[in-house]
Amino acid sequence: MNRPAHRRARRTVGLLAVAVLAATGPAVPAQAQPVELIENGTFDAGTAPWWWTGSAPAAVTDGRLCAQVAGGTVNPWDAIIGQNDLGLQSGESYEFSFDASASMPVGVLAKVQLQVDPFSERLSRPVTLGPTPQHFSFVFTSDVNSDIEQVAFQIGGSAQPWTLCLDNVSLTGGAPPPVYVPDTGPRVRVNQVGYLPQGPKNATVVTPATTPLPWSLADPGGRVVASGVSTPRGVDVASNQNVHTIDFSAVRTPGAGYTLTADGETSYPFAIGDVYGALRSDALQFFYIQRSGIPIDGALVGQQYARPAGHVGVAPNQGDTSVACQPGVCDYRLDVRGGWYDAGDHGKYVVNGGIATYQLLSTYERTLTAAGATPAALADGTLRLPERGNRVPDILDEARWELEFLLRMQVPAGQPLAGMAHHKIHDQNWTGLPLAPEADPQLRELHPANTVATLNLAATAAQCARLYLPYDKAFGNRCLSAARTAYAAAKAHPDIFASPTDGNGGGTYNDNDASDEFYWAAAELYLTTGEAAFLTDLRSSPHHTGNVFSATGFNWPQTAALGRLDLATVPNRLPAAERAAVRRSVTEAADAYLATSAAEAYGLAMPGGRGSYFWGSNSNIINNAIVIATAFDLTGDRRYRDGALQAMDYIFGRNALNHSYVTGWGTKTPQNQHSRMYGRQLNPNLPNPPVGSIAGGANTGLEDPFAADLLEGCAPQFCYVDDIQSYSTNEVAINWNSALAWMASFLADQGTGAPVPPGACRVGYQQVAHTAGGFLATVKITNTGRAAVTGWTVSWSFPTGQRLALTLGADAAQQGPTVTARDLVINRRIEPGRSVTFAFLAASPLANPAPELFRLNGSVCG
């Protein structure tokens, strides 16, 4: 994610008004007796000079300062106790300590910060309190010379009133400088989820040794089942560690609780088997829980995530059923309810919603086009959604929730910039953490329309049209109309861009190059309609023949790869040589990623330099794996399948931190991602992020004050911390989970990793005549095997909403896009080398390319 405005915006979230009193003296040398900066921290002299807000009146009770904190506050800074006018010296280390208790389980923020706007933080730590007094101590190093600092306990945000008691508050200089050493567990780093029996199995060992080391693999009972020697790899650039690698791919016996030992260290346990079966559903449930505008049903996803609908015009919400623009932008209001909350905030963004929606739709479309996909894996009833049982694939139900929002963001006809899409809608000002959506009191605003957002709408709406027509003709047509309108509006206004400074209350998501979005939108419209104008536009784009697969992966600002991947995989009428070139570009990119993976000691398809680890790096790492997986779908070459599998090892724990980045998937997984909804680190009454949520990942930019202070000088893979305050390394986001969902579906389709033999059949499909709005086609099934086929069923999926009308020579039916044709009594037997042909009539409202994937009795035909 690229949201530079977050750094300033979230450094200043603790807004409050305080008075400046007097300065304190100079710092004391570290070797001298530490000087106490807090006055009356034991409260023996009453309450002065402590202050509090009106929502937390305080008094000394039994020698402690106790505050009666009002209920019904929203933000942490709505109730504060503090002391001002503390002096800090740059480079000096300080210890901040205190005793605290609360009348009920509650989370508070303990801060040392500037006491005037912008309230820059020197230290911010969430603590969880209860009835038993606890002692807390934190050490930090000041990066400023300042005499106007404060300690502040931010204690607002609870619906219920409660009592806070403090004692022994202390801030002293001369503390030993803090040294952050992450807990990296055993030095043998594995995929903590596990490995497929027929797949690659690699591990990395952190060691000072420079010569090969013996290793052993133990089964769940402790019996050694394999052994060998490691391969020294030298110093890994991404981690600055001396490492070896271990390959134990020859072990294929399924089981849970395997461990790998080398250099006196034993790995976390892992499994060998069909380990990814549930990941598809877990990764996708994130989107339902992130929904705006609908109550979340705890019976589906766990009661801890149940909540009322957010932003449906019910107080204290001020949206999203009738939202005005920012001042001076427009004079109308829009109903923009629904959609997904983008990340850790309550904003909704068309550009990030665009790629996330695309990846969910692509995950579904892959089940129609890839020979290795499981056709019904995302069918109705497979996910935890309220729409299950409506005879529509659940993943399409989920994607539609966002698509409806994207359509509502289109500028109405008759208005200036009609047909364009508004960039985003979010709060007028930043809110604090945690905050439930239904409790958000901020005014919501529409932000100006721009070209990039409009093309995101055009692309996803075009994709929507071909996929939803078989299930909801009216919605499919609505999507196509919106896509055409948006594309025309973007061509009329090709250079309107989002402001890089429009970041108060939400991320900027600015992108000043729309050429990639033009290519992506033209590709999707061509795939759906087959119209020459869109083909001309995509061919005229430099992205059609240029390299769209960068070493560090595609993402929301770089979307040309999305068009290229769909042109390669979705049936279309590109000339054979042109289609071959498109597909070759995918496999060549995959080859480059495989080469990168082989060169990286942790096996990921991402270069090791600092520039490869940035905001949301995990999604880019997965997106590179998606390209490799797509190459496997196109070719069936197992090198690509193995490469895609190995690329995901990094995500699940084979990394410098020995940390899986997906909640609940691995031994050590993130629990404290930056989110207003999943704020258990700040409030024990709130949940952790749901299982299947991926964290943003290592980011050398350290674009939040918590990470900048804690991780300064980190090697790239160490630039991550599982703390709710580190939004630049540890946020959740829909475009990160959409990448995970696509890859999770691919991983689950691999089962145990055993190769699937092709069927002994060949299917010829030919359109022999066309009528108004329809066509006549023949299907010829040839038995290429050595045994007769007695009784046959052939199936395929129409790519662009075609609809079966009449069949001759077979008994056929259609469900959604999928046609299933069965033999008649007179033609049920096909001898070796012989064929059976039948014909059908079908309607074709859009493009009408031939299906490219046929199955005979469940086996894929050549």
Active site residues: 345, 674, 722, 731
Ramachandran angles phi, psi of 268, nearest 5°: -60, 155
On whether the CB atoms of residues 730 and 696 are closer than 8 A, the answer is: yes
Of 856, 811, 852, residue with least CA distance to 366 = 852
Alpha helices in 293-349 (DSSP H): 298-301
Q: Look up residue 389 and give its two tokens.
A: 């049982």
Q: Residue 811, Cα to own-chain centre: how many angstroms?
A: 44
The single residue listed with the structure tokens 């031939």 is 850
User: Residue 668's Cα: distance from chain center in Å?
Assistant: 19
Cis peptide before 316 (omega within 30 of 0): yes
Q: What's the Cα-to-Cα distance from 733 to each of 143, 519, 549, 681, 696, rounded to whole Å?
A: 31, 25, 22, 18, 8
Outline where 380-472 has alpha helix (H): 394-408, 451-468
Q: Is 819 helix (H, G, I), strand (E, B) or coil?
A: strand
| Contacts of range 24-27, beta carbons closer than 8 Å, 24 or more positions apart | 24/85, 24/86, 24/87, 24/147, 25/87, 26/87, 26/89, 27/87, 27/88, 27/89, 27/92, 27/173
Residue 174, SS3?
A: coil
DSSP collapsed to 3 states, 676-736: CCCCCCCCCCCCCCCCCCECCCCCCCCCCHHHHHHCCCCCHHHCCCCCCCCHHHHECCHHH
Q: Are 105 and 166 in contact (CB under 8 A)?
A: no
Q: Are 142 and 122 in contact (CB under 8 A)?
A: yes
Write the CB contacts of 150 (distance below 8 Å, at least 6 apart in sequence).
18, 82, 83, 84, 85, 86, 111, 112, 113, 114, 115
Burial zone of 436 (CB within 10 Å; 0-12 exposed, 13-18 middle, 19+ buried) = middle
Q: Is the peptide bond before 434 cis (omega within 30 degrees of 0)?
A: yes
Query: In this structure, what token pair is assigned to residue 540?
Result: 């005229």
The tokens describing 298, both together, are 């705890």
Burial class (CB in 10 A: 0-12, 13-18, 19+), 45: exposed
Bridge partners (DSSP) of residue 102 are 164
Is 298 in a helix, a strand, or coil? helix
Sign, Cα dihedral of 134, 139, 142, 147: positive
Could you tell me where the DSSP H helices lie in 68-128?
A: none
Beta sheet of 811-815, edge-to-edge order = 811-815, 818-822, 793-797, 855-856, 859-860
Residue 427 near residue 316, CB atoms below 8 Å: no
Task: Tell me the torsion sign for CA atoms 698, 701, 705, 709.
Answer: positive
Instruction: Say which DSSP state 340 is in.
Output: B
Cα(389)–Cα(476) distance, rounded to whole angstroms?
20
- Integer Cα distance of 87 and 18 in angstroms: 16
